[in-house]
Structure 1
Amino acid sequence: MTEAHRRPLARIHIESRECSAQVLERLTGATYFPERLLGPAIVATVCRAGGHLLYVTAPPMADADEQLDYYLTLLTGGLDDADAGARQSARDRVRIVPLDDDSSRWLSEKVLDPANPQAASVRRALRAFVDDQRSAGADVRLSYFEPSEPLEQLARDLGVPGSQASSACIPLATKHAGRRILAAAGIPLPAGTDLCHDLAALAAEVAKLVRAGHRKVVLKLNSTAYGGGLGNALLALDEAVTSAPDDAVDKLVADALPHATLVDTKITWDDFVALMKDSGAIAEELLEGTPMLSPSFQGRLTGTGEAQAVSTHDQVFGASGQSYIGCTFPAHADYRAQIIDYGLRVGQVLLEHGVDRGDYGVDFLALRSGSGWRLLGCEVNLRATGTKHAFAMAAALLGAAPADDGRLLVEGTEYVYEASDGIMDLRYVGLRPAQLIRAVTDSPLAYDPVRRTGVVLHMMSPVVRYGKFGALCIGTDRAHAAALMRRLRELVDALAPGS
């Protein structure tokens, strides 16, 4: 055990989702995304490790005191069963620092805003926390969601290590670079194109895919700023194009491109073309199959030259098939071992490219092939992913690390889960996090620390304005976890105004 791990823990969390501000404006409740890791941070750092936590949010959390008490008592079975003295001791070790700013700016920009007196107050609180904890001998670190120049500068100013890769490595996570990394790791890929910066080049590249027999393609902006599939467009080419003579295909494809279906309905084709001139775009064959799943691998580069497997999931996507809304853990047993192998290979390639630390993720497509599955690499993420908070909470609650085969086991019992960030209904608008908490904790769905199963809520603040919240449902098998999620929705449906 290293000296750092023997020291008391102190963690600062600024979980800024630093994609395009325009994208954040269009993702419902996205300004609350930094709240997603609050629960895991409280359970792991404060309740499990006895450490201190400073967590920054903007805008302020709704019903912050009730949310804090909820997370602090998950391991003890609820407020009524928790020892008051122990609960107060834990509460004293958590400080939630809010900024009254509900704009779609990055959280890091809000914290570092030189013109905002409240931001200056937050920075003083960060400085005082670091100084106090360091004087107490604590191991102080700054946790954030993805590589970021502003947060790296803040970490340097505070004199503490940051949690992610250097922002200089961000270009390795673009769509085109990701394909190269996957190929270097020996992972099969969908048919794809070179990087294009104008329509003529894109049409010529898509025409090559058509000549190779592909009728449907997905166009992807080559930028890390358009997560969740919002930088994608779907193009289906009719027989008039696919059966045309080779010398006519380029023009027919060029004529068809403006009719591509944009995943982000708030931008136009002209917007897509303008963005492509800056970032570039690629095209890939759009794979279809029944069934076709979208598993993912989450890994971590340790800072000591090692890539570690953290978790695997089968992702759940929205109606477009491009936007992430939830996941099930672990990934399907038939291909989980191969995903872990492929994910670790990608980690080794990243190490060879000079990425020395931080979270990373690899997305795949799994298509049924005879009695087995065909796995294809899809994208590489050089950051935490949307599955992180669910896994971090489950692992912290269970007090377990994944086995070599990717399962979470406690005393020989396997635990699985279903998680969603997108439990949403306009009927829920006006509900409060405190109402959700009371409804769940007073029901048989509440997480039971003895049985180690049940429902855990997260990202609750958006429910007030948007009717949206998230949940983790831990069960002993997939049917159990799915039943918990279904019953949670029924519970909240009955709670909604007018029900």
Structure 2
Amino acid sequence: MNEVPRLCTLNSASDRTVVEQFRQLQIQLRHRWQTVDLFDTGDTDIVVIPSLTLDEEELLKIDGVHHYEERFLFSLIRLRNPRTRLIYITSQPLHPSIIDYYLQLLPGIPFSHARNRLLLFAAYDSSSKSLTQKILDRPRLIERIRMALRPNKTYAICFNATNSERDLSVKLGIPLLATDPELLYFGTKSGSRQIFEECNVPHPDGSSLVFDDEELAEAACELWERQPHLKRLVVKLNEGFSGEGNAILELEPLHDVSPRQRVKAIRDRFSKLRFQATTETWEHFRQRIPELGAIVEAYVEGDRKRSPSVQGRITPHGEVEILSTHDQILGGPDGQIFLGCRFPADASYRLQLQELGLKVGQNLAEKGALERFGVDFVVVRRNNGWDVEAIEINLRKGGTTHPFMALKLLTKGYFDRATGLFYSQQGKAKYYKATDNLQKDRYHGLLPNDLMDIIAYNQLHFDTSTETGTVFHLMGCLSEFGKLGLTTIGNSPEEADALFDRVVAALDAETSGNSIPPPIIPISWT
């Protein structure tokens, strides 16, 4: 095995003590954690820490990223269990209409009963720091949260686990259902490549991790010499996400350069990289390389190319489960920016994705990883089949987590690994289309209450009787960024697509500017 660079370093005896305390707390998960299929019988407090504890500069490339804390609000559906309490922490207070929206999705549970078991805490901090760091900066807030918990019946969940989440787990005295930060390297670009090699999972040719642009040029040159047919390469920051840290290097303009001059020519060509994030520049990108590291990979060519993914879970008992597959909806200059997804992935390759994902999960489990992981692929049509290559591992929750969990919690259904389909309790296969990026200028200024009016008037809500319809999220993004998230659930792929189109058409019609309907004024009884 290659030596593993550590993203989380231990600088003192105090750090080592915290790590040991964290690991002792995680052992408790074996007795405290229950699979979502059994949680209806549990008596548990769940602390939700929806912090995106990722590189701040990379996060700033995403419009309204501070509202992404709302993506975990599907967790409120867990209040369907009358013995569950949920503690949800955010940077800023959530709009009451947003909370009400999720609680009304709970069939058979009185609204007031569910609301009394939901505790909301806010740091009242809109800075670009991660939510977890904001909490750590406020010891009185930590104490208030700790005092509200039942310590022997509580665990925490998060988007991704770093030293910050580890420290907060220890300060609260509760286990965190997430991978130990010591293993974060395996969720980076170079760490993913190491896992793929160990598992014999097919993946594009590429380089090892480098930390300056000279080494990057040399690595690109070596890759091109190994694969002289390549037309372009992908340059990736090692800790980029959602494709925002990727760039394309075109090789065609360098074909006439002599072998001796290739490294210099490639290095000069970096200034013309085509970045997937529209705000990125070479000067800024180059400054991040010594800090984050970078790799270069062969660009997978093909006219009929898709980007599916598989999601899995490693339980506290060390079991590896495949949860879902998706066909990702990508955008950006070269189709590398994650915009949304469709469930499930195409039938012609989804079972293969599941088997490859299982290999990766078993490798990660042996290393001590825990909870969610995802593997992104590129598939290209070759003759009568699909050529499948793994691109990266996400050792955390991702953009496919919340739509799938919303479906599972709303329908109480199950994923059938034999077919790769999800079935409701009535035996109907369910399909969905989801996005975090329904964004238009015309949506600017819509308040959460305006959205509720539009949902009600156009009957866009999720119908619990038919188990079809739309579940909305990122509603806090609407007013400032004109951006909304949604998942449309249908009994066929076509129905899910039609529901999605209906939502877009309704929002467009309501924001056309031709007429503005009067707001719905609540009745006050005296």
* 3-state secondary structure, aligned to 1:284: strand
Q: Could you say if the C-alpha distance between residues 334 and 469 of structure 1 is closer, same or farther in structure 2, counting changes exceeding 3 Å?
A: same
Question: Aligned match of 1:42 in 76, 92, 107?
Answer: 76
Distance 1:318 1:123 in 2: 40
Deviations 1:33-54 (A, max 9, x none): 111011x2111x2024641111
Matched, 1:17 2:52: yes
Distance 1:127 1:2 in 2: 20
Indicate the residue corresponding to 2:87 in structure 1. 54
Distance 1:183 1:250 in 2: 27
Indicate the residue corresponding to 2:404 in structure 1. 391
Indicate the residue corresponding to 1:65 in structure 2. 96
Distance 1:339 1:15 in 2: 28
Q: TM-score, normalization: structure 1? A: 0.91
Question: Aligned match of 1:456 in 451, 459, 471?
Answer: 471
Indicate the residue corresponding to 1:350 in structure 2. 364
Distance 1:273 1:302 in 2: 39
> How many Å apart are 1:422 and its aligned residue?
0.5
Indicate the residue corresponding to 2:19 in structure 1. none
> How many Å apart are 1:102 and its aligned residue?
1.6
Indicate the residue corresponding to 1:317 in structure 2. 330
Answer yes or no: is the 8 Å Cα contact 1:47–1:72 preserved in 2. Answer: no
Q: Which runs of 5+ in 2 are unaligned?
A: 1-29, 35-40, 515-526
Indicate the residue corresponding to 2:135 in structure 1. 111
Q: Which runs of 5+ in 1 are unaligned?
A: 77-81, 114-118
Answer yes or no: is the 8 Å Cα contact 1:437–1:457 preserved in 2. Answer: no
Structure 2 counterparts to residues 143-222 of structure 1, below 5 A: 143-211=157-225, 212=227, 213-222=229-238
Indicate the residue corresponding to 2:125 in structure 1. 101
Structure 2 counterparts to residues 228-243 of structure 1, below 5 A: 228-238=242-252, 240-243=253-256
Indicate the residue corresponding to 2:114 in structure 1. 90
Indicate the residue corresponding to 1:490 in structure 2. 505
Matched, 1:435 2:454: no
Matched, 1:8 2:43: yes
Counterpart of 1:14, as a letter, is I
Counterpart of 2:384, as a letter, is S
> How many Å apart are 1:363 and its aligned residue?
0.6
Question: Aligned match of 2:153 in 139, 144, 149?
Answer: 139
Question: Aligned match of 1:278 in 291, 297, 305?
Answer: 291
Distance 2:59 2:356 in 1: 31
Matched, 1:419 2:434: yes
Question: Aligned match of 2:264 in 227, 230, 251?
Answer: 251
Identity %: 31
Distance 1:442 1:73 in 2: 17
Counterpart of 1:429, as a letter, is H
Deviations 1:85-125 (A, max 9, x none): x1111111112222322221100011111xxxxx4453233
Distance 2:477 2:397 in 1: 21
More moved, 203-212 vs 465-474 = 203-212
Distance 1:246 1:100 in 2: 58
More moved, 154-163 vs 436-445 = 436-445
Q: TM-score, normalization: structure 2? A: 0.86
Answer yes or no: is the 8 Å Cα contact 1:207–1:253 preserved in 2. Answer: yes
Distance 2:215 2:427 in 1: 56
Counterpart of 1:493, as a letter, is D
Distance 2:386 2:481 in 1: 39
Distance 1:379 1:279 in 2: 16
Instruction: Give runs of ≥4 in structure 1 deviating > 6 Å.
Output: none
Deviations 1:18-47 (A, max 9, x none): 111122223100011111011x2111x202
Counterpart of 1:125, as a letter, is R
Question: Aligned match of 1:124 in 136, 143, 148?
Answer: 143
Counterpart of 1:124, as a letter, is E
Counterpart of 2:132, as a letter, is S
Indicate the residue corresponding to 1:27 in structure 2. 62
> How many Å apart are 1:165 and its aligned residue?
0.4
More moved, 270-279 vs 51-60 = 270-279
Indicate the residue corresponding to 1:116 in structure 2. none
